[in-house]
Amino acid sequence: MTTTTIDTHEFYKELIVAGMPELQAEVVVRQHAKRHEDLATKQDLELLKQDLRLLKKDILLAIGGMIVGAVGIILAVLPLVLK
């Protein structure tokens, strides 16, 4: 995952200016930064989309191969069954 950074000091100063007590502002900034680490970026989502497209292609090819194989087996067995 790609990491993005936030200016925690600037965030802290804004909270203090807005009237939040310093200790509370420290906790809010720390928790916000901690949660922010787990967020996916647009680039992460694009990579996931590409992976899903490739997976979809592989699955469709596998299913197509199974269908062709099943039809082949049916066509091979059918004359034996109809005798």
- Say if residue 69's pLDDT is above 60: yes
5, 40, 44, 53, 70 from 49: Cα distances, Å: 24, 13, 9, 6, 31
Mean pLDDT of the chain: 90
Average pLDDT over residues 56-73: 97
Q: pTM higher than 0.75 for the full model?
A: no
Structural domain spans, the chain: 1-39, 42-83
Average pLDDT over residues 63-71: 97
Residue with tokens 């790609």: 2
